[in-house]
């Protein structure tokens, strides 16, 4: 077999390989009996559903202004999509500690997708590789180490995190001064800080 054929075969094998996620520390904020898990684990929830939700977000002038100002969606579209989808998957399926820390049209048959968890995970790996680890737990039925459900507020209190309103006040003030005072783009400081949780900024 030629070297090119071997490389192609290895590439296909690597792409078709789906890693088995480690258990989360608990069921997070919602748990497997919640409507959130039912909606987000539906075969098209993390793919088509998410894309449609993004379209609805475009109705928010503040969000569109921020996206337009940074131009990151043009410079790093895959990273933006991957990190955003991973965040939503973490809120829906992630353990409370990990989640509290961050407070394409594809022509696949929906029916085939609904019948195959593997196919769902392959599609998810194609669209958002960083999300497979988090959503894979729910889709594969991997129980957490501690099967409890925790509210966001209880997790913040237990883990010593500020509420979203109080979190990162200094960084937000610095970013506000950069954008509205100096007229320059916000720094990547917050993105860099979140890399261990949401994935690398490429």
User: Sorting pLDDT into bands at 50, 70 and 90, what band is 113?
Assistant: low
User: Sorting pLDDT into bands at 50, 70 and 90, what band is 105?
Assistant: very low
177 part of a folded domain: no
54 part of a folded domain: yes
130 part of a folded domain: yes
Look at the chain and report how many structural domains it folds into.
Answer: 1
87 part of a folded domain: yes
Residue 113 in contact with residue 42, Cβ under 8 Å?
Answer: no
99 part of a folded domain: yes
The mean pLDDT value of the chain amounts to 80
Domain residues for the domain of 79 are 3-161
Q: DSSP 3-state helix, strand, coil percentages of the chain (rounded to 5)? A: 65, 0, 35
**pLDDT tens-digit map of 32-51:** 999 888 888 887 787 777 77
171 part of a folded domain: no
187 part of a folded domain: no
13 part of a folded domain: yes
Residues 67-71 have a mean pLDDT of 69
Residues linked to residue 191 through DSSP beta bridges, in sequence order: none
Task: Say what the pLDDT of residue 26 is.
Answer: 92
Whether 96 shows a pLDDT value over 60: the answer reads yes
């Amino acid at each position: 077999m030629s070297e090119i054929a071997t490389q192609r075969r290895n590439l296909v094998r690597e792409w078709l390989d789906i890693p088995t996620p480690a258990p989360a520390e608990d069921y997070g904020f919602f748990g497997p009996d919640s409507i959130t898990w039912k909606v987000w684990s539906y075969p098209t929830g993390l793919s088509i559903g998410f894309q449609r939700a993004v379209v609805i977000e475009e109705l928010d002038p503040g969000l569109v202004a921020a996206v337009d100002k940074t131009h990151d969606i043009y410079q790093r579209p895959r990273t933006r999509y991957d990190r955003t989808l991973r965040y939503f998957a973490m809120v829906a399926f992630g353990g409370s500690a990990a989640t509290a820390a961050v407070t394409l049209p594809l022509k696949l048959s929906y029916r085939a997708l609904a019948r195959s968890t593997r196919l769902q995970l392959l599609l998810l790996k194609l669209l958002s590789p960083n999300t497979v680890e988090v959503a894979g737990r729910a889709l594969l039925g991997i129980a957490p180490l501690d099967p409890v459900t925790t509210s966001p507020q209880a997790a913040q209190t237990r883990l010593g995190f500020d509420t979203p309103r109080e979190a990162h006040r200094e960084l937000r003030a610095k970013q506000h001064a950069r954008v509205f005072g100096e007229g320059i783009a916000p720094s990547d400081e917050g993105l860099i800080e979140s890399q261990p949780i949401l994935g690398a900024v490429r």
